[in-house]
Amino acid sequence: MKIAVITFRLRASWVHSLKEKRMIVKSLIAKLQNKYHVSAAEVDEQDTHQIIVIGVAAIVPHNAMADSLMDEISLFVEENTEAEIIDEEREVR
C-alpha cells in the first residue's frame, strides 16, 4: 500500500479578497473529493489572496496507480480552474 501526495501552488491574479479565494478553493477541493475520492485541503498561504496551495493525498495499491492518479488529478486541476499552476510537487510514500 502506498500514499500518493501531490501539492499544487496556483496563482489567481484576478482575486482581490480572501472571500473570493475561499470560493475558488472550496469549489476545487469539492470537485477533487467528489471525482477522485481523495483527501484534499488548502495547506499553505491561507492569508495570501492570490496564491492558492492545495494538497491532495490518496491511498493506492502500487506506484503505477499512484503515478496514473496523480497525472489525472494534475490534468483535472488544470482544466477546472482559471488559476495558473505555478508549481506542482509529487511524492509517493
**Segment 5-46, tens digit of pLDDT:** 999 999 999 989 999 999 999 999 999 999 999 999 999 888
Q: Angle at CA 31, nearest 5°, toward 91 and 57?
A: 20
The domain ranges of the chain are: 2-92
Three-class DSSP category at 1: coil
- pTM value is 0.87
pLDDT of amino acid 48: 86
Where on the phi/psi map is residue 37: left (φ > 0), alpha (ψ -120 to 50), or beta?
Answer: left
59: amino acid identity, one letter = I
Q: Any idea what DSSP says for residue 57?
A: E
Q: Specify whether domain 2-92 bears CATH 3.30.70.1120.
A: yes
Q: Any idea what DSSP says for residue 16?
A: -
Question: Hunting for cell 501552488 — which residue is that?
Answer: 9
6: amino acid identity, one letter = I
